[in-house]
Each structure stands twice: as structure tokens, then as C-alpha cells.
């Protein structure tokens, strides 16, 4: 999940934003690893649609669901960093990985989700491309860092924009 408000350590988006704010290069340890990136509002939309069906008593909707991105939003870490830098307007990233580190810190190279069930049965589909999801995320961080920024208002604004789409 991506979106504004994540400040956890050792997470790609917060680490990118922190480095960009400090005018330092973004340190990337696994630039070729691919993840199912998506804005947090995407699966929330799916869960709300699913919840509505369950509230209507439609038991056939009970069970596991994947509200993941489409294949074109499953991009590697270097592409995510490139898009973030583009939307930030400046900055760069560097690859800090080495053969020894890759052996010590094993991470799965490719993660993906199959959203076909949600598309077929719920008529749900992601609304935001990876570019748009990252633009919204960068915008949130940029606006939230301004003096007197109201993060609740920023979230509500993005929810309204997403809902209108």
C-alpha cells in the first residue's frame, strides 16, 4: 500500500520522501524487485463494495478477496523511485545493493496479486495508475509538510477526488 501518512522506517515511499526533503539521494537496496503497488484508497474501495454485498445478505460474496493493482502497476522499485523523483521535481536514487547484502537480506524478487475475482464478481477495478497513485502520494507528503497543514483535510480531499473519479 502507498499513500500519505506512512512514516515507518525501512519502507520505500517514506524513505524516498525523507531523502528528497533532506536533498539527499534515495538509497535503494533492491531496485529490480517488483511489488503490487497501489494507493491505499483502492483496496478500501473494494472492501466497501464487498461490505455492501455482505450487508445485503449475499452470502456468495463471503470468502477471500484480492483487491490488488492491475499488472501494469506492478513495477520494480527503481521505477517507483523514478516516478517519485519526477513528481517531487528533483532528486535521484542510488543502488546500495551488493552481492553480499542480497545473500544476507533475502527478499522475494516478485510479489503480485490476482484481482480477477474482484473484477469479475464485484465489478471492482483499480482507478489509479501507478503514476497517478504515486503523484497523489507525493502531493500528500508535500502538502502535509507545509506549516499549519491539516492532514485530516488532506486525506478528506484525496478521498473526495478519488470518489469523484
- Domain of 148, CATH number, reads 3.90.25.10
Average pLDDT of the segment spanning 37-57: 97
Bridge-based pairing state of the strands 26-28 and 93-95:
parallel
pLDDT of residue 108: 84
For the segment 61-119, what is each residue's pLDDT rounded down to a tens digit?
999 999 999 999 999 999 999 999 999 999 999 999 875 555 456 678 889 999 999 99
Number of domains in the chain: 1
Residue 145 belongs to a domain: yes
Segments forming the whole domain that contains residue 150: 12-164
Half-sphere exposure of 48 (CA within 13 A, CB side): 8
Residue 1 belongs to a domain: no
Percent of the chain with pLDDT over 70: 95
pLDDT of residue 103: 47
Average pLDDT of the segment spanning 29-53: 96
DSSP 60: G
Residue 158 belongs to a domain: yes
Task: Indicate the pTM of the whole model.
Answer: 0.90
* Per-chain mean pLDDT for the chain: 93
**How far is 30 from 73, CA to CA, in rounded Å?**
18
pLDDT of residue 81: 98
**How far is 65 from 94, CA to CA, in rounded Å?**
36
Average pLDDT of the segment spanning 2-10: 93
Residue 6 belongs to a domain: no
Residue 46 belongs to a domain: yes
Residue 79 belongs to a domain: yes
pLDDT of residue 100: 53
Residue 2 belongs to a domain: no
Residue 30 belongs to a domain: yes
**Is residue 32 predicted with pLDDT exceeding 90?**
yes
Amino acid at each position: 500500500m502507498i499513500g500519505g501518512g506512512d512514516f515507518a522506517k525501512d519502507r520505500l515511499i517514506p524513505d524516498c520522501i525523507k531523502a528528497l526533503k533532506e536533498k539527499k539521494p534515495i538509497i535503494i537496496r533492491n531496485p529490480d524487485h517488483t511489488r503490487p503497488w497501489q494507493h491505499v484508497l483502492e483496496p478500501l474501495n473494494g472492501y466497501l463494495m464487498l461490505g455492501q454485498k455482505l450487508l445485503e445478505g449475499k452470502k456468495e460474496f463471503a470468502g477471500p478477496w484480492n483487491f490488488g493493482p492491475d499488472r501494469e502497476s506492478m513495477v520494480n522499485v527503481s521505477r517507483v523511485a523514478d516516478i517519485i523523483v519526477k513528481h517531487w521535481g528533483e532528486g535521484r536514487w542510488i543502488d546500495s545493493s551488493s552481492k553480499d547484502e542480497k545473500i544476507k537480506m533475502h527478499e522475494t524478487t516478485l510479489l503480485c496479486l490476482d484481482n480477477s475475482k474482484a473484477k469479475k464478481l464485484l465489478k471492482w477495478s483499480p482507478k489509479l495508475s501507478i503514476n497517478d497513485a504515486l503523484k497523489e502520494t507525493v502531493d500528500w507528503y508535500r502538502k502535509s509538510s507545509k506549516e499549519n497543514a491539516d492532514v485530516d483535510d488532506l486525506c478528506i480531499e484525496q478521498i473526495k477526488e478519488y470518489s469523484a473519479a
